[in-house]
């Protein structure tokens, strides 16, 4: 049981205005549409923090700038910043990001998730765990963890 909050009073930031894409002039409906930074951000901005009723965007755990996309190489890297250096929720947040992108992106995509350099006391260990797909697969067979992840992802599905 969680006896207390890890970060009792997080700073809450304003949500970024939702940009609407300007409609392209020539629409070639057969051309492959490139996936860009904004699209990835839209997928993950509304994920709820595991312990607060705020989104990862509102807590500045993720920003659009911290997303790297190379559509040609089918590669995405998301760098997130835990609210506190000792955040034990870091792996859960990382797992939520991975699961959301696994569900949203075409399967050809390679996704790396990491904590921002210097933002976490166990940075290397957290990064290693989040990018070990065998451990991720095992974690996602744990019903309690899946419930937790699904709860965090629920607002992002709207």
Partner 1 sequence: MKNFELNEVQKLEGHTDRVWGLAWKPATGIDGVPAVLASCSGDKTVRIWEQSPATGCFQCKAVLEDTHTRTVRSCAWSPSGKYLATASFDATTAIWEDAGGDFSCVATLEGHENEVKSVSWNASGSLLATCGRDKSVWIWEVLPHNEFECISVLQGHTQDVKMVQWHPSVNILISCSYDNSIKVWAEDGDSDDWHCVHTLNQSNSGHTSTVWALSFNASGDKMVTCSDDLTIKIWGCDIIRMQSGDGNAPWIHISTLSGYHDRTIFSIHWSRDGIICSGAADDAIRFFIESKDDLVDGPSYKLIYKKEKAHEMDINAVQWSSMENNRLASASDDGTIKIWEFISAPGKKMHL
Q: Are 10 and 83 in contact (CB under 8 A)?
A: yes
Smallest gap from Cβ 71 to partner 1, in A, equals 16
Pick between residue 11 and residue 147 the one whose CB is nearest to partner 1: 147
Q: How far apart are CA 52 and CA 60, in angstroms?
A: 13
Smallest gap from Cβ 141 to partner 1, in A, equals 5
Pick between residue 102 and residue 121 the one whose CB is nearest to partner 1: 102
Q: How far apart are CA 51 and CA 27, in angstroms?
A: 43
- How much is the CA Rg of the chain, to the nearest whole Å? 16
Q: Are 152 and 59 in contact (CB under 8 A)?
A: no
Smallest gap from Cβ 124 to partner 1, in A, equals 10
Pick between residue 55 and residue 127 the one whose CB is nearest to partner 1: 127
Give contact residues for partner 1 (rule: CB under 8 A): 107-108, 110, 128, 131-135, 137-138, 141
């Amino acid at each position: 049981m969680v006896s207390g909050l890890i970060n009792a009073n997080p700073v809450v930031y304003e949500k970024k205005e939702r940009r609407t894409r300007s409609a392209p002039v020539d629409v070639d409906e057969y051309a492959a549409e490139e996936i860009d930074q904004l699209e990835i951000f839209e997928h993950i901005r509304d994920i709820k923090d595991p312990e607060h009723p705020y989104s990862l965007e509102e807590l500045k755990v993720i920003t659009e700038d911290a997303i790297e996309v190379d559509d040609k190489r089918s590669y995405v890297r998301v760098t997130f910043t835990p609210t506190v250096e000792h955040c034990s929720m870091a792996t859960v947040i990382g797992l939520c990001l991975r699961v959301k992108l696994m569900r949203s992106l075409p399967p050809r995509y390679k996704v790396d998730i990491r904590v921002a350099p210097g933002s976490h006391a166990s940075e290397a260990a957290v990064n290693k765990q989040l990018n070990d797909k065998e451990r991720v697969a095992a974690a996602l067979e744990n019903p309690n963890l899946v419930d937790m992840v699904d709860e965090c992802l629920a607002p992002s599905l709207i």
